[in-house]
Amino acid sequence: MAKNTEYADETEHPLLKVWNRHPGFLQSKTEIYRAPSIEKIIAEIFSVGEHYYYTLHMTDSSISSHHPNLLKMHGFANPPTHLGDIIGLIHPDDMTFVEEAELMTVEKIREIGFEHMMQLKSSYCFRLRMASGAYEMFHHQSVHTLKSESGHLLEAVNIHTNINHLAPRNNYHVLVSGIGGRNDFHQMRWAKRHNDMAETQPLSKRELEIVALLAKGLNTRSISEKLYISQHTVKTHRKNILSKTQCKNSSELICLAFEQGYV
């Protein structure tokens, strides 16, 4: 394997410090791997509000292939070309959490195994400045999409969904979950804001999986097929989930899922 290499750019940004603290995140043993097209990735990742995506090139932090909503929602006159342009939109009070969340993500992926990173998705929330100048809550999701033959992480796709209508308050949770056949589900709290969070009766791992699938829009039958359990079992889990969370219906549950970092 080639030696570890720190990624850099003329216009550095805070997340480079995080990624370079764990060189294996940017380079690990692998065969060349290209993930499915952006369209297939988006199809697997739920969207409950106006959203956009862009491709992040890890070697120089440049961005490309952005969805048109990126310009409209944030008021860019021209397409942004560097991750620093996106980071510049983050509310100043949320920047520390974003750095810590990214570090938590990298450390969890290292624990699972960097060789599996192409089938892992990370997500957390923060506020971004809109075209109006106001800050609104966004759900950030990131999927790694391309590695070189030598093992360098080359590309990721970031998806940002406006969830201000669902969860205007940050939950300070970080989630690493499996995609493409993996069933990983690791929910982490940012310890510094732990006491700010409202507590609900804890859900089991299976219940958390079902909540995440409900948020994707799957019905009882589809959840049953995906998890290889009976529809009766799914209905029982749904009933228990609503009872534990004190939600009246699935709509309320999805809102709570974002507030408590279940998705």
Q: Is residue 99 part of a domain?
A: yes
Looking at residue 22, its pLDDT comes to 72
Q: What contacts 24+ positions apart, CB below 8 Å, involve 83-91? A: 83/13, 83/15, 83/56, 84/11, 84/12, 84/13, 86/54, 86/158, 87/13, 87/14, 87/15, 89/128, 89/129, 90/126, 90/127, 90/128, 90/129, 91/126, 91/127, 91/128, 91/129, 91/135
Taking residues 76-81, report their average pLDDT.
94
pLDDT tens sequence across 82-101: 999 999 999 999 999 999 99
Burial of 25 (0-12, 13-18, 19+ CB in 10 A): buried
Q: Are residues 169 and 116 in the same domain?
A: yes
* End position of a domain, from candidates 143, 177, 197: 197
Q: Is residue 1 part of a domain?
A: no
Q: Are residues 142 and 53 in the same domain?
A: yes
* End position of a domain, from candidates 197, 223, 243: 197
pLDDT band at 45 (very low <50, low <70, confident <90, very high): low
For the ranges 5-19, 108-122, 154-168, the lowest mean pLDDT is seen at 5-19
CA distance between the termini of the chain: 35
For the ranges 14-23, 76-85, 102-111, 176-185, the lowest mean pLDDT is seen at 14-23
pLDDT band at 197 (very low <50, low <70, confident <90, very high): very low
Residue 41 tokens read as 């990735």
The total number of structural domains that make up the chain: 2
pLDDT tens sequence across 148-169: 888 888 999 999 999 898 888 8
Q: Are residues 190 and 235 in the same domain?
A: no
Q: Is residue 111 part of a domain?
A: yes
* Domain span holding position 141: 14-197
Q: Are residues 237 and 118 in the same domain?
A: no
Residue-by-residue DSSP string for 127-147: EEE-TTS-EEEEEEEEEEEEE
Q: Is residue 4 part of a domain?
A: no
Q: Is residue 74 part of a domain?
A: yes
* Residue where the block lists tokens 């299976």: 206
Q: Is 113 helix (H, G, I), strand (E, B) or coil?
A: coil
Looking at residue 198, its pLDDT comes to 44
Q: Are residues 229 and 119 in the same domain?
A: no
Q: Is residue 3 part of a domain?
A: no
* End position of a domain, from candidates 180, 197, 214: 197
pLDDT band at 47 (very low <50, low <70, confident <90, very high): low
Q: Residue 262 pLDDT > 80, yes or no?
A: no
pLDDT band at 21 (very low <50, low <70, confident <90, very high): confident
Q: Is residue 6 part of a domain?
A: no
pLDDT tens sequence across 134-151: 999 999 999 998 888 888
Residue with the bigger pLDDT between 170 and 43: it is 170
pLDDT band at 57 (very low <50, low <70, confident <90, very high): very high
Q: Are residues 170 and 74 in the same domain?
A: yes
Which residue, 261, 94, 15, is CA-closest to 6? 15
Q: Are residues 151 and 222 in the same domain?
A: no
* Residue where the block lists tokens 């799957």: 218
Render the burial of 41-66: b for 16+ CB within 10 Å, e for the rest. bbeebbbbbebbbbbbbbeebbbeeb
Q: Are residues 202 and 192 in the same domain?
A: no
Q: Are residues 180 and 193 in the same domain?
A: yes
Q: Residue 60 pLDDT > 60, yes or no?
A: yes
SS3 content of the chain, % helix, strand, coil (to 5): 40, 25, 35
CATH of the domain at 133: 3.30.450.20
CATH of the domain at 252: 1.10.10.10
pTM across the whole model? 0.69
Looking at residue 195, its pLDDT comes to 42
Q: Are residues 30 and 107 in the same domain?
A: yes
Q: Are residues 103 and 33 in the same domain?
A: yes
Q: Is residue 44 part of a domain?
A: yes
Q: Residue 207 pLDDT > 60, yes or no?
A: yes
Looking at residue 121, its pLDDT comes to 92
Residue with the bigger pLDDT between 151 and 35: it is 151
Distances (CA, A) of 107 to 22, 30, 113, 122, 194: 8, 19, 10, 12, 19
Q: Residue 58 pLDDT > 60, yes or no?
A: yes
Q: Are residues 89 and 218 in the same domain?
A: no
